[in-house]
């Protein structure tokens, strides 16, 4: 485990989970692509960060007290200009445990979900699923033991009922399955490497297109000790 990752995990023990901007730093350290983002804590930083990320963007509350951001209105998609950005900052600043705003670029493509869980019997289990309503309604997921090889990752992707959604179904952009499989391998390596510290991880969604697979949202839950 890299020292910077260990440091983030140690500093997150009290809350029991890793704040999203820090979770994305961990993900990037394992070679996964993450959306362009800025963690801003003041109005001035918010406006500077928005200029760097570019409008329209996604704004998310950063707070150790709020793990489910959408439940408290802590996610605003499609922020279009500085005026709206300042309104969002004002709203978020009143939420419990406010520690800034995560400014995230808006990504296009097909949604895929990566997940991992430490199972007492089987060890680290990695989950791959088609995102959006497919995983919620049809439970279209594949489970594999970590770490996985590229061959296993490819086979897992092709086992999904919704694989056609990634292959240009009804005019949708074809997903680069080679890049997606590589991302699955990196994710499983990360889950296995962090197995002594991390209880579960959810990367939801991972936005996929013809060029790459990019993590748009990440949650890392630590083991209780």
- Tell me the per-residue pLDDT of 60-103, one tens digit each, with 9 for 90 and over: 999 999 999 999 999 999 999 999 999 999 999 999 999 999 99
Taking the C-alpha atoms of residue 127 and residue 113, their distance in angstroms, rounded to an integer, is 8
* pLDDT, average across residues 46-69: 97
Query: Over 70: is that where the pLDDT of 133 sits?
Result: no
Listed range (158-162, 167-171, 177-181) with the worst mean pLDDT = 167-171
**Residues 121, 67 share a domain:** no
What 8-state DSSP symbol labels residue 96?
A: T
- Which of these three, 105, 122, 143, is where a domain ends? 105
Q: Tell me: do 131 and 73 sit in the same domain.
A: no
How far apart CA 144 and CA 123 sit, in angstroms, is 11
The predicted pLDDT at position 134 comes to 60
Residue 16: inside a domain, yes or no?
A: no
Q: Please indicate, yes or no, if residue 9 is contained in any of the structural domains.
A: no
Residue whose C-alpha is closest to residue 35's, from 217, 185, 220: 217
Question: Has residue 60 been placed in a domain?
Answer: yes
Evaluate whether residue 7 is within a structural domain: no
pLDDT at 156 over 90: yes
139/137: higher pLDDT = 139
The distance of Cα 66 from the centroid of its chain, to the nearest Å, equals: 16
Residues 112, 202: one domain? yes
Considering the domain architecture, whether residues 71 and 118 belong to the same structural domain is answered as no
Q: Is residue 190 part of a domain?
A: yes
213 and 134 together in one domain:
yes
For residue 22, is it within any domain? no
Helix (H, G, I), strand (E, B) or coil at 77: strand
Same domain (yes/no): 212, 175? yes
122 with 48, same domain? no
pLDDT of residue 31 exceeding 70: yes
Structural domain of 52: 36-105
Distance (Å, whole) CA 128 – CA 82: 37
pLDDT in tens, 7-21: 999 999 999 999 999
Asked if residue 11 belongs to a domain, the reply is no
Q: What is the pTM of this model?
A: 0.94
| 3-state SS, one letter per residue, for 173-201 | CECCHHHHHHHHHHHHHHHHHCCCCEEEE
Q: What is the mean pLDDT of the chain?
A: 94
Number of domains making up the chain? 2
Residue 208: which CATH number? 3.30.470.20
- Are 219 and 20 in contact, with CB atoms under 8 Å apart? yes
Of 60, 86, 105, the position where a domain reaches its end is 105
Q: Can you give the pLDDT at residue 42?
A: 97
Sorting pLDDT into bands at 50, 70 and 90, what band is 145? very high
């Amino acid at each position: 485990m890299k020292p910077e990752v260990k440091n983030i995990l140690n500093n997150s023990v009290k809350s029991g989970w890793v704040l999203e901007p820090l979770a994305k730093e961990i993900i990037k350290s394992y070679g996964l692509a993450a959306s362009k983002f800025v963690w801003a804590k003041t109005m001035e930083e918010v406006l500077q960060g928005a200029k760097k990320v570019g409008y329209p963007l996604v704004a998310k509350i950063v707070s150790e007290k709020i793990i489910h951001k959408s439940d408290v209105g802590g996610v605003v998609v499609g922020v279009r200009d500085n005026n709206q950005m300042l309104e969002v900052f004002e709203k978020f600043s009143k939420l419990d445990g406010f520690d800034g705003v995560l400014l995230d670029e808006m990504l296009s493509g097909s949604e895929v979900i990566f997940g991992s869980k430490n199972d007492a019997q089987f060890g680290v289990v990695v989950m791959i699923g088609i995102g959006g309503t497919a995983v919620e309604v049809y439970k279209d997921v594949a489970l594999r033991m970590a770490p996985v090889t590229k061959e296993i990752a490819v086979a897992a992707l092709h086992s999904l009922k919704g694989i056609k959604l990634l292959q240009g179904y009804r005019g949708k952009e074809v997903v680069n399955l080679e890049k997606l499989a590589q991302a699955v391998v990196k994710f499983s390596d990360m889950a296995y490497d962090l197995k002594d510290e991390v209880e579960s991880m959810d990367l939801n969604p991972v936005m996929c297109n013809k060029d790459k697979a990019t993590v748009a949202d990440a949650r890392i839950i630590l083991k209780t000790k």
